[in-house]
Structure 1
């Protein structure tokens, strides 16, 4: 899909890392409400989030995690430092790459390869085996890696998404150059802060949490806020806060919804523990996995416990349970 869409004021605008043909655009194509709307190509995650906060866009799709490379640090740091953002959905895109060049170039002529750093990291084994003497030039996006071949780049070839051949007149030198055929990138749809949507039973809650001190056992104390309430963490990744050595924040994905009693209680425990908690959102999981838990962590158990405590405080007679 291209950016030549109707700019009617009645249409919503979605920002994505461009230009056309990127994996981010493929993720945006999965967003039902974005079909037929205005798609705005941007150069980086910060620009996409700024579009949302400023109101230039209604929402944006950004990459947040890769199954091979882990969390996308630029996205995690931006979410920690740009207020007023809420994650409202997630989408998974299988990731594979091709090696392309200017027409007439052959594989044995390639000495310098243009590639986004994340893409390069996912293809370096193939590159090292096939082009052992190659040099790498970082690109701002997977599509930009190919497009700059025609804009004076000294690179001989580029690592790019497979559909790049539909957007540029390139020579396809090799297919399936990714080191892991099962690689997947997770993208999130972000908007300005909105009320939390309802539970689906297949949800994820994302937080950013700072530790109160760099002391023995502090991380364990934070993790216990979740474990003692039966909340599984599908992602926990540290990122430096940047104000001093040894100061870290943690990006966390918890299985469940903030409206689940066990998750809400865990988040309250984290809030009491941490000097800074950023709630990024509760939203449906892309994999549709139903979240299960032991009966002792059910909503009813938490409600009964609160009612029991209320009765004690009110002086109500105790009954056999």
Structure 2
């Protein structure tokens, strides 16, 4: 598989992704129109991908942020929380399926060591425990790297890899559909240093990271009330340890709507007044393109009318 999606084009920009070619991250990047025909830079981990963006080696990086089975990807969430001035430009969904591959001549009942990316292993461990109860797990840097390693060393007997991997490596497929959940989907985000906001589409999502001001009863409820009292729905909320003390957490939150929507903007103002540290990660189109639904009393015109009413009171206008 080439590192550019259009060999006839003259690449002028680089995009980083967890490689090599053929990974689920590669499939997510293939959904980005502006990345086609450009140089795709294969990296080994999220930190390297984001370092490419910060240093300017790449204009953007595609990274996994959430899985429908395992939840949030902690390495991505922690990196976004600690690297300033990053923005999410868009999200992309990739159905996840796996196969078990090995070197030619390997029999399933002879497999003892399985090479797999930790996230892939977490999504296939039930299948492996049922069919290979005495197996050992050898972590890999990516799903494709797990398969490639079989040809580079004899440590592992088999590997968990994406479907179609045998078209690119001299391997045989021992089993297909080895994922524990056939409807599994991984959500990826394209991250850049671009600060220009895309226009609202009506089917948008806004991502932030916020900390609680103090550890006292009801503090999390106070944070959540900033959204509920303005009719803003959350599609994701996950906690990650801040790391400076036990019991200190930050919250990764996805909101339904765009920062230019009045209800979302007002909610973010509330969060900013409440939280000692809040990071805005961006507003971007939802991958499913489904319009955001909200109660009519939280429409833009309601917030605008309320502000006009207050200005009139301050100006002494007749009511």
Question: Under a length normalisation based on structure 2, what TM-score does the superposition of the two structures give?
Answer: 0.97
Residues 235 and 252 in structure 1, CA contact (< 8 A), matched pair in contact too: yes
How far apart, in 2, do the equivalents of 1:167 and 1:285 lie? 33
Distance 2:161 2:63 in 1: 18
Offset of residue 163 of structure 1: 2.2
Quote the offset at 1:149 in angstroms.
Answer: 1.1
Q: For each residue in 1:52-104, what CA deviation from the matched residue of structure 2 results, as whole angstroms up to 9, or x when unmatched? A: 11110011100000000000000000000111210010100000000001111
Give yes or no for contact 1:7–1:38 (8 Å, CA) kept in 2. no
> CA RMSD, aligned part only?
1.4
- Equivalent residue, structure 2, for 1:283: 284
Aligned residues: 318
| Equivalences for residues 167-186 of structure 1 within 5 A | 167-186=168-187
Question: Does the CA-based 8 Å contact 1:112-1:156 persist in structure 2?
Answer: yes
User: 1:124: which partner in 2?
Assistant: 125
Post-superposition offset of 1:221: 0.3
Extract structure 1 runs of 4+ deviating beyond 4 A: 4-10
User: Which residue is 1:3 aligned to?
Assistant: 3
Q: Which residue of 1 aligns with 2:90?
A: 89
Query: How does the TM-score come out when normalised to structure 1?
Result: 0.97
SS at 1:74's partner residue? helix
Counterpart for residue 34 of structure 2: 33
Note the alpha carbon deviations across 1:34-59, whole angstroms, 9 max, x for none: 11111110010011111111110011
Q: How does 1:172-321 map to 2 (within 5 A)?
A: 172-318=173-319
1:114, distance to aligned residue in structure 2 (A): 0.7
Shift in CA distance, 111/191, structure 1 to aligned 2, threshold 3 Å: same
Distance in 1 (alpha carbons) for counterparts of 2:136 and 2:54: 38
For residues 8 and 95 of structure 2, the distance between their equivalents in structure 1, rounded to whole angstroms, comes to 30
1: CA distance, partners of 2:167 / 2:47 = 28
CA positional deviation for 1:292? 1.2
Match of residue 108 from structure 1: 109
C-alpha displacement of 1:193: 3.3
Three-state SS of the structure 1 residue aligned to 2:124 is helix
Q: Give the deviation of 1:7 after TM superposition.
A: 11
Counterpart-to-counterpart distance in 2, 1:170 and 1:277: 48
Report the secondary structure of 1:93's partner residue.
strand
Unaligned 5+ segments in structure 1 are none
Deviating more after overlay: 233-242 vs 185-194: 185-194
Q: 1:103–1:170: 8 Å Cα contact kept in structure 2?
A: yes
Tell me: CA distance 1:129–1:12, structure 2 relative to 1, closer, same or farther (3 Å).
same
Give me the whole-angstrom Cα distance separating, in 2, the residues matched to 1:256 and 1:287. 13
Query: In 2, are the aligned partners of 1:6 and 1:37 still within 8 Å (CA)?
Result: no
* Residue 10 to residue 104, structure 1, CA distance change in 2 (3 Å): closer
Give the secondary structure class of the aligned counterpart of 1:269: helix
Distance 1:292 1:8, change over 3 A: closer
Q: Counterpart of 1:14?
A: 15
C-alpha distance in 2 between matches for 1:168 and 1:20: 12
How far has the Cα of 1:279 moved from its partner?
0.3
Question: 2:205–2:286: 8 Å Cα contact kept in structure 1?
Answer: yes
Indicate the residue corresponding to 1:165 in structure 2: 166
| Cα deviation, residue 211, structure 1 | 0.8
Q: Aligned partners of 1:83 and 1:47: how far apart in 2?
A: 15
Instruction: Report the Cα offset of residue 10 of structure 1.
Output: 5.8
Deviation sequence 1:203-237 (CA, Å, 0-9, x none):
00000001111111000000000000000000000
Shift of 1:253: 0.2
For 1:90, what is the secondary structure of its paired residue?
A: strand
